[in-house]
Amino acid sequence: MRGARLSEAGWGYGFVLVPIVVFGLFFIYPFIYAIYISFLHWGILGKQPGSSGTYNYAKVLHDPVFHTALKNIAEYTIVVVPLELALGLSLALLINQKIRGRNFFRSAFYFPSIASSVAITTIILFIFSANGLFNHIFGFSTDWFGDGHTVLWGIVGLNAWTTSGTVMIFYLAALQSIPTDVYEAAALDGTRAWRTFWKITFPLLRPAHFFCLVVFGIGALKLFDQAYIIGGPSGGPNYATMTPILYIYNEAFGNYDFGVAAAAGVVYFVIIFGLTVVQRLTVGRQEAA
């Protein structure tokens, strides 16, 4: 028996060996290494001997471009997340009916979520260009994604649309877990549909609201692809599309300053981590109650 136990343990370690090495080497170690690099002078001339102290951190925290990036991502997230949730929930409510062609509509609404961000952003840039299809139909002449005043809101619209399908899938799962006798009771009460929704369905979906808020909130804070594709690595026009992740990328591969890029990475990690903790303590506590 003892031999079998030992052998089982041996096989167990053997099975998890490669995954553990991969996680250690490409997740745990980089996490520590990034913090280490953030305290070095590591610029275009390569790694310099000695510590830089808090120089890189001071540089990031006093950089107006980083401030712009934080301001942009705050505005973006605060608007895009409620929009994604509202759109996704509306789609889920539509799909969650006893109707024909349910699967077709579900796939149709989900489709933009699976299409590549590069392709879909490119297509939208085409349609919303100054002399594109959208302006032709609605009689505008704005270059929606080329104008610093509208570009961020353009990305909000684009991503609210493409993400709503994924949100819908999560809400659908949650809606299907609500027992139907809850509705039957409401119907016997003679409660109208709109009231049933606000008084019963919406509160019962609370775990789903919380889950989506966290998942899509963090997702929004990581905006990169669309910003890079639309505004380029330097976040143009005039930093209107600069986001924290793009800032890190640009410090590393535009300005070749790995020290500052690593410091910005640490700062942004702390910000997101802090937000998650605050959210757990406020919304999450209500959720648990």
Of 195-254, binders to another protein (CB under 8 A) are: 196-197, 201, 215, 219, 222, 224-225, 228-229, 232, 244-245, 248-249, 252-253
Binder to another protein among 122, 238, 255, 282 (CB under 8 A)? Answer: 122
Return the number of other C-beta atoms located less than 10 Å from residue 169's C-beta. 17
Could you tell me if 270 and 57 are in contact, meaning their C-beta atoms sit under 8 angstroms apart? no
Do 144 and 151 meet the contact criterion of CB atoms below 8 Å apart? yes
Nearer to another protein, 57 or 170 (CB): 170
Tokens 């016997």 belong to residue: 188
- Closest CB 76 distance from another protein, rounded Å: 16
Cβ of residue 238: shortest distance to another protein, in angstroms?
Answer: 18
Q: What ranges in 96-201 are assigned the alpha helix state H?
A: 102-114, 117-127, 133-138, 151-176, 180-188, 193-196
Structure tokens at 161: 């649309």
The stretch near another protein (CB under 8 A) out of 61-69, 71-79, 184-192, 279-287 is 184-192
Cα-Cα end-to-end distance for the chain: 47
**Least separation in angstroms between CB 62 and another protein:** 20
Q: Which residue has the tokens 């996680």?
A: 23
**Binding span for another protein by CB under 8 A among 25-33, 54-62, 73-81, 278-286:** 25-33
Q: Which stretch binds another protein (CB under 8 A): 49-57, 60-68, 69-77, 255-263?
A: 255-263
278 lies in the binding site for another protein (CB under 8 A): no
